Amino acid sequence: MNVTLPEIDRLKLAETDKTKSVTILGSTGSIGCNTLDLVSRDREKFTLKALTANKNVAKLAEQAIEFDAELAVIADDRLLGALKEALSGSDVRAAAGESGLNEAANMDADWVMSSIVGAAGLKPTLTAVRRGATIALANKECLVCAGGFMMEQVKDYGATILPVDSEHNAIFQIFDFEHPETIDKITLTASGGPFWNTNVAKLADITPQQAVNHPNWSMGAKISVDSATMMNKGLELIEAYYLFPVGKEQLDILIHPQSIIHSMVSYVDGSVLAQLGTPDMRTPISYALGWPDRMETPCKKLDLAEIGNLSFVKPDDEHFPSLKITREVLQNGGSAPTILNASNEVAVYAFLEGKIGFLDIAKIVEKTLTKLSFHKVTSLDDVHEVDEHARHAALELVTGMSK
């Protein structure tokens, strides 16, 4: 359990209230592009330090030139030449590989968006943590794979974590950090993805195209599949446990297909506070980007009369086995969440490549968890070792199941 209430020194912020320098780890993705969209609407307020991508040289170079970034980093170091060429004639410096990502995370940006997808986001985020940075955390894998260790480092190095995931951002807005003892429970709402009311018998035939077609949110492919299996909500349950000072038994999940209520906090007196808004990631991103102030966004304003009804359904484990798996993983703790995350990543990409079926994703995760033993995670090397073993075990299962 950790308290991440950031210290708000408005006086100090006012003194330095010129521009906010920004680094985006994973700028070419869905979260990265939404962040740059917000930055583009108030260019006077922000300067760009570093932008990073994995392979998308063209988009990275275009962004870096448009936003006049100091550094552009391509994680795949074979593409450094192509990046240099795409940046020629500009003042943007190019770098690549792990050292490049590390350099980007180490630059003295006032605000770092951690939006690399998957476990690959861990190292650069930890680098930013270790320089005591203010980090807008979209990458949920940081907390899922290494939650205890990561939050200890946040405390030790005086970093600040601003949750970006819409549910955690919602809770961050309504949680009484000064009186956590007055909180009865946290309810993470879930859209339920595209299949929450699909007959269980039909789930086996779901195609990748159907799974990435999220009804409410526009997101990257991996997280869209996670939404469809509801593994995303399971990962968020683990994430919430590390972000907010509540017990495991105080975390609940509720399907809310309209995605208007982004999460709720119930207090001991019976009051329930909720954060509402149209489903657009620019709202939670803006809350973190403007923090401790609010910013204007172009998001559609909420019109409850137009929506008419908000509905809620209790999720069932038969439909969504990943929820049961993640609850068990949260109870086990230690390296179990790392194994869960790694095996899920392998299974989701295998599904997207058409190698396994939709229902095989949860099966692979469950089998990988039973194959490997759990222990306390004490370092990033430890996390990587567990991650590697789990990926290897999951890949073997994928090979065995391949269609």
List residues binding ligand NDP (CB under 6 A).
26-32, 53-56, 75, 115-117, 120, 138-141, 165, 217, 219-220, 222-223, 281
Nearer to ligand NDP, 2 or 114 (CB): 114
Residue identified by tokens 């100091």 is 70
Q: What is the DSSP letter of 27?
A: T
Minimum distance from residue 200 beta carbon to ligand NDP (Å)? 26
By beta-carbon proximity to ligand NDP, the closer residue of 72 and 377 is: 72
Q: Please, what is the minimum distance in Å from the beta carbon of residue 348 to ligand NDP?
A: 11
Distance CA 182, CA 266 (A): 9
Instruction: Indicate the residue among 119 and 367 with the shorter CB distance to ligand NDP.
Output: 119
User: Residues with Cβ < 8 Å from 120, sequence gap 6 or more?
Assistant: 54, 75
Distance, in Å, from the CA atom of 123 to the CA atom of 77, rounded to the nearest integer, reads 16
- Which residue type, as a one-letter code, is found at position 282? R
Least Cα distance to 141 among 315, 357, 282, 348 occurs for: 348
CB of 323 to ligand NDP, least distance (A): 17
| Cβ(258)–Cβ(371) below 8 Å | no
Cα 391-395-396 angle, rounded to 5 deg:
120
CB of 248 to ligand NDP, least distance (A): 21
C-alpha separations of 378 from 89, 102, 230 in Å: 46, 21, 28
* Cα distances (angstroms) measured from residue 171 to each of 155, 168, 264: 20, 5, 7
In whole angstroms, the minimum distance from the beta carbon of 293 to ligand NDP comes to: 22
| Choice between 115 and 367, CB closer to ligand NDP | 115
| Comparison of 164 and 255: residue with beta carbon closer to ligand NDP | 164
For every residue of 198-226, DSSP letters joined together read: S-GGGGGG--HHHHT--SS----HHHHHH
Judged by beta carbon, residue 367 or residue 391, the one nearer ligand NDP is: 391
Min dist CB 57 to ligand NDP, Å, is: 8
Q: Which is nearer to ligand NDP, 106 or 266 (CB)?
A: 106
Residue nearest to ligand NDP (CB): 29
Distances (CA, A) of 226 to 27, 360, 399: 21, 13, 21
Q: Is the peptide bond before 292 cis (omega within 30 degrees of 0)?
A: yes
Between residues 23 and 27, which has the closer beta carbon with respect to ligand NDP? Answer: 27
The answer to whether 28 touches 59, Cβ cutoff 8 Å, is yes
For residue 214, the tally of other CB atoms under 10 A from its CB is: 18
Count of Cβ atoms closer than 10 Å to residue 188 Cβ: 24
Nearer to ligand NDP, 243 or 367 (CB): 243
Q: How far is the CB of 247 from ligand NDP (least distance, A)?
A: 24
Min dist CB 235 to ligand NDP, Å, is 8
Minimum Å gap between C-beta 188 and ligand NDP is 12
